[in-house]
Amino acid sequence: MPMYSLQCAAEENCLSSSSSSSHDYSSRVLLRFPQRVKNQGSADFLPSKPRYAWEWHSCHQHFHSMDEFSLYELLDAVTETRVAEGHKASFCLEDTSCDPGRHRRYACTSHTQGLSPGCYDTYNADIDCQWIDITDVSPGKYVLKVTVNPQQQVPESNYNNNVARCDVQYTGSAAHVSGCTTTAH
């Protein structure tokens, strides 16, 4: 992706911090992936910040109701050492879809954001910051680790289903993902 297309992402610190010269490149290599988060609990999942503290981001034209909704890590498959990372600020925490019998109650607005029990918040792979910047990553075998509510700023009855892990084979020009599972850590 050319840097001129990543202006908003750079503003939101979504580019790699693995290299001190990371902003000197004319383009970046991004590992893009979708994310679908389900509220499996019995209470609403509400932003960690009160509404008056939500931050307006003029570049993307939306409010951020949480600083870090998800943490994305690319780990070395053998050593589990982090080689790259990304994050997703909650910019549109909403009921994208719901299980049968459940109804959408939250939308992405300046007044209400949240995730109802039995509902999903979905982020497509083509939206800004829905990636890990892997510009400085060598081809090899890795683990993609996605953690929702990573700092546990939103109280939950159980955090055991907040991490997903997938095997990644990166060739230098393509990434092949397989074996995704939900784990406790």
Phi, psi of 181, deg, nearest 5? -140, 160
Mean pLDDT throughout 10-21? 60
Mean pLDDT throughout 47-76? 81
Kind and range of the H or E run holding 10: helix 7-11
Flag whether pLDDT at 170 surpasses 80.
yes
Mean pLDDT throughout 30-46? 93
Rounded percentage of the chain residues whose pLDDT exceeds 90 = 49
Residue 140 burial (CB count, 10 A): 14
d(CA 55, CA 66): 9
pLDDT tens, position by position, 89-148: 666 789 999 999 999 999 877 678 899 999 999 989 988 888 899 998 999 999 999 999
Amino acid 75: pLDDT: 98
pTM (predicted TM-score): 0.86
